[in-house]
Amino acid sequence: MLNRTTAPAFTRTTDFELILPEELVLQNGARIFFISGGTQSVIRVEVLIKAGRWLERVWGASYFSAQLLSKGTSSKKSFAIAQLFDQYGAHLEISPGLDVVSVSLYTLTKNLQPTLAMFRELLQDSAFPEKELSQLKSIYLQNLRVNQEKTSFQASKLFRKKLFGENHPYGKELEAEEVQTLTREQLIDHYTSFGKDFIVIVSGKIDSASRQNIIDEFSSLSFIASPEKNITAPNVNALHERVSKEGSVQSSIRMGKKAIARSHPDYAAVLFLNHIFGGYFGSRLMKNIREEKGLSYGIYSSIHTLQHDSYVVIGADVNNENLDIAFEEIRKELKRLRTEPVDAEELEIARNHFIGSLQAEITTPFAHADKIKNMHMFRLPKNYYQNLIHNIDSVQADQLLDIASRYFQEGDFIEVSVG
């Protein structure tokens, strides 16, 4: 008989087994990945288009052309398109990014044919209607006005500008004047030039009929590879800048620097050390800044990996009178990473949390597809995530001290605040 007074034994595993994708090259040259799994009869079809901000000739062309994809074709207006997806219980998700534009269709397997046909039509025959562009501009400008009043928005904007340069795709934020002067013709030019370089990632419960339907629809699209574009970011010296905002009783802090790429041999150790430093609720920054000093409700440190660069950023909101001490305490924690070995208990807790959280991320076929997408976008080996876990599971305190001395020198960090 089961004894409910005794907790079950703790079992620890470092396994990370992804669904093995089926990869095809279509007749038009486009690549397609099928990640088949799950018990629910749902399919996600995600198209990654190499048409992000990195390739823009005119600022804003990537964002607005992507958002207008679903707003009309030569034969259907936006209402009819939305009505069709609603009729079949499907959902369209568009995410314009710095490197790529992601366009995803979520649909029931039984309704794939009509929704996928509409999806393909949007990619092939979007009309970029002038009226819809005008409405989208108005919404964007209104949101921009609201965001301009937020110290967090202003601090993040200033930080990226200082890190990459104000005319770099990763450091640029759209200004109101640029939005107002953007034309429909510029959007068409951007999508015509770069919208034909894509890959397709399909995940969910995929039967043979659905698989063939997807192959047929995407084989009918034109595929043309986009040209490579090299952009050099300016050299960044350590910079400290504080911007006052009238009427604000709170300041938003951003600290950070350039980071190494996912493919770098030290990346796993850097990622894990950042986790200890400020990557989860039990991190050193949270214990110091939130729990012990009570300077902020929350503080984080995260690594953002892009296709052409990467950076680490620390963020928090503090009362203005606590701004100096908050910066000082963050610098102290950075120095402590370099001078004090992580003790065994802290190391084990952080290690188990990191590995467990990563393993918990792959509970659905869509989540498996996201990991496979990352491996493709960053040209990582098929065993990348399993190796990542093994490297973090074996890293020791003395190695982390060495990593901290190379990548977490407090004097290298840009420091900005707005408030």
Sheet holding 101-108, edge to edge: 22-25, 31-36, 198-204, 42-49, 101-108, 91-96
pLDDT tens for each residue of 323-354:
999 999 999 999 999 999 999 999 999 999 99
Cα–Cα dist 35/195, whole Å: 24
pLDDT tens for each residue of 377-400:
999 999 999 999 999 999 999 999
Please report the beta strands in 146-280, taking only residues with DSSP state E, as ranges in sequence order: 198-204, 240-243, 250-258
Angle at the Cα of 49 (from 44 to 52), degrees rounded to 5? 125
pLDDT tens for each residue of 43-97:
999 999 999 999 999 999 999 999 999 999 999 999 999 999 999 999 999 999 9
pLDDT tens for each residue of 153-181:
999 999 999 999 989 999 999 999 999 99
Asked whether residue 9 carries a pLDDT value surpassing 80, the answer given is no
User: How is the chain split into domains, by residue range?
Assistant: 22-219, 240-418
Cα–Cα dist 276/348, whole Å: 10
Phi first, then psi: give them for residue 201, nearest 5 degrees.
Answer: -125, 115
Cα–Cα dist 156/254, whole Å: 7
Q: Work out the pLDDT band at 13, boundaries 50, 70, 90.
A: confident
pLDDT tens for each residue of 276-331:
999 999 999 999 999 999 999 999 999 999 999 999 999 999 999 999 999 999 99
* Helices 365-377 and 384-394, axial angle in degrees (round to 10): 90
Write down the pLDDT at residue 268: 97
Write down the pLDDT at residue 14: 85
Asked whether residue 247 carries a pLDDT value surpassing 90, the answer given is no
Write down the pLDDT at residue 1: 62
Q: 22-219 belongs to which homologous superfamily?
A: Metalloenzyme, LuxS/M16 peptidase-like (3.30.830.10)
pLDDT tens for each residue of 205-239:
999 999 999 999 999 999 999 888 888 877 776 68
Write down the pLDDT at residue 404: 97
Radius of gyration (C-alpha) of the chain in whole angstroms = 24
Q: What value does the mean pLDDT take over residues 122-129? A: 96
Domains 22-219 and 240-418 share a fold: yes
Contacts 24+ apart (CB under 8 A), 297-304: 299/330, 301/274, 301/277, 302/274, 302/278, 303/259, 303/270, 303/271, 303/274, 304/259
Among left, alpha and beta (phi > 0; psi -120 to 50; other), residue 30 is beta
Write down the pLDDT at residue 66: 98
Q: What is the dihedral of CA 399, 404, 407, 412, to 10 degrees?
A: -160
Q: What value does the mean pLDDT take over residues 15-37? A: 95
Q: 240-418 belongs to which homologous superfamily?
A: Metalloenzyme, LuxS/M16 peptidase-like (3.30.830.10)
Distances (CA, A) of 89 to 66, 82, 84, 231, 334: 22, 10, 9, 42, 49
Q: CB-side exposure of 44: number of CA atoms within 13 Å?
A: 22
The mean pLDDT of the chain is 94
Task: Give Cβ neighbours of residue 242 (< 8 Å, ≥ 6 apart).
Answer: 251, 323, 416, 417, 418
Q: What value does the mean pLDDT take over residues 228-254? A: 86
Q: CB-side exposure of 210: number of CA atoms within 13 Å?
A: 21
pLDDT tens for each residue of 363-376:
999 999 999 999 99
Asked whether residue 8 carries a pLDDT value surpassing 80, the answer given is no
Question: How many angstroms separate the most distant Cα atoms in the chain?
Answer: 74
